Amino acid sequence: MNIKLDYIVKQRDKVFIVLIALVFITFIFSYALNNISIYLFIPFFFLDTKEKIKLKLQELKKNKIVLLCVLFFLAQLVGVFYSDDSNLAIKRTLVMLPLLFLPAILSTEKLEKTMYNKLLRFLKYVIPLVFIYYLVVHYFIDGRVLSTFVHFTIKEKLKVSQFYLVFILIIPIIEVLRQLQKSQLIVKNSVVLIFTLGVVLLLGNKTSLVFLSLLCIGFVYNLWRTNKKMAVFSLIGLCILTTAVLQVPIIKNRVNVFLRTTDLSMETIVTKNSFTHTKNTAEHRVLIDYLAVKEIVNSLPFGVGTGDYQQALNKQYKAVNFKAALKGGGYNTHNQYLSEFLKTGVFGGVLFILLLLALWKTPKRRMGFYFLLFFSLGCLVESYLVRQHGVVILAFIIPFLIRNERE
């Protein structure tokens, strides 16, 4: 038994990188497989010597991020006890369960720099290849046009919202930009970059376009400090790309709807959406935020409960006859910050903010920085933690990148 344990201990780095790669790959394949790959980290943590396990447990006691993750999960658990819909409350809490162990395990394990770089190079090619497979099946086997890719392949088959997949696509984009900045594998990296950007544009998510803009601006800024001539060419290319993006039908249509129909008066927004089913999603989010804040104020200081926040929102939708939300079965808050204050009041809302602040205080480099930035900003317009994919981003991807990019 000791011989087997010694062998496993010696192979821990290899096992760890395989588990990491599994989580990233299954993220875009299957909810069930991704769930299994996540929970494999628990036995992996304990397949170690007693001395090392004790040292890891002692290290965890001093880790503020791990403590905040546990407290944040406990806030969800407490909210179960005063929820009318206990089944939904338990379901929502179980989705958050990885916050209890993933950040803790990742904080005690670290890849060697060479292994980490190999993982990024692997993901740089594998992630785009998976989407090539999806596109081939969608277009040649299912016989559908590309404009229906999001609806039929992403939402119907994979049952994933596209703004989750944008996060995984950012990995090859950032890695390619890093290598291009060093003039490495220019042709291969350019092909990967163009294809990956094309997939992001095909997903047609406005939040992802904001992410891409910030990423490109950051790339040009970093390039300016080392190669001003290349930075100018990159800026010109960025302007050309932006012009081309605005001609993509799905994006052009959404921009036109936003420019033509957006009002600044909340009274006008409420009235308009009470009489007709509007298509201005930006206005929808403003109205949802307005109604969510009203419900939060009414439910202070404890919130409505982990399982009742959607019912509370639906009540507000009915009060103003928000047609689009009522017809759509009831939109969630599309704002993770407001979601936490609505569910578990001051306790959960403040803990979520403190958790993000603690992550921001940790040393981080490019990949970890951008992921945390995108998640923090994205939480203003999306409710990421309503699905396991969002929890994986917060509990696994961000802590892993920050932990392994310090040096």
Question: What is the tens place of the pLDDT at every residue in 322-359?
Answer: 888 887 667 888 899 999 999 999 999 999 999 999 99
| pLDDT at residue number 172 | 92
| pLDDT at residue number 136 | 93
Burial degree of 205 (CB within 10 A; 0-12, 13-18, 19+): buried
Residue partners of 121: CB distance under 8 A and separation at least 6: 175
| pLDDT at residue number 266 | 80
| pLDDT at residue number 90 | 93
| pLDDT at residue number 71 | 96
Question: What is the tens place of the pLDDT at every residue in 249-262?
Answer: 666 666 666 666 67
- Residue 192 above 60 pLDDT? yes
Give the HSE-up count for residue 71: Cα atoms under 13 Å, Cβ half-sphere: 16
Question: What is the tens place of the pLDDT at every residue in 272-316?
Answer: 878 787 777 778 888 889 899 999 999 889 999 998 999 999 898
- Contact by Cβ (8 Å): 79, 303: yes
**Residue range 236-247: mean pLDDT, rounded:** 70
Q: For all residues of the chain together, what is the average pLDDT?
A: 85
Torsion sign over Cα 275, 279, 282, 284: positive
Give the pTM: 0.89
DSSP 142: S
**Residue range 225-230: mean pLDDT, rounded:** 71
Question: What is the tens place of the pLDDT at every residue in 142-185?
Answer: 989 888 888 888 888 888 888 888 889 989 998 988 888 777 78
Angle (CA) 330 335 336, round 5°: 110
| pLDDT at residue number 247 | 65
| pLDDT at residue number 249 | 65
| pLDDT at residue number 76 | 94
Residue partners of 9: CB distance under 8 A and separation at least 6: 47, 48, 49, 52
27-31, 210-214, 289-293, 387-391: the lowest-pLDDT one: 210-214
- Residue 393 above 90 pLDDT? yes
Phi first, then psi: give them for residue 264, nearest 5 degrees.
-100, -15
Question: What is the tens place of the pLDDT at every residue in 60-105?
Answer: 888 999 999 999 999 999 999 999 889 999 999 999 999 999 999 9
| pLDDT at residue number 13 | 83
User: In angstroms, rounded to a whole number, what is the distance separating the alpha carbons of residues 182 and 31?
Assistant: 36
Question: What is the tens place of the pLDDT at every residue in 118-144?
Answer: 999 999 999 999 999 999 999 999 989
| pLDDT at residue number 3 | 52
| pLDDT at residue number 407 | 47
Domain ranges of the chain: 2-255+347-404
- Residue 45 above 80 pLDDT? yes
**Residue range 37-49: mean pLDDT, rounded:** 90
Other CB atoms within a 10 A radius of the CB of residue 198 amount to 15
| pLDDT at residue number 259 | 61
- Residue 44 above 60 pLDDT? yes
| pLDDT at residue number 286 | 86
| pLDDT at residue number 1 | 46
| pLDDT at residue number 345 | 93
Task: Mark 179-192 as b/e (b = at least 16 C-beta within 10 Å).
Answer: bbbeeeeeeebeeb
**Residue range 209-234: mean pLDDT, rounded:** 74
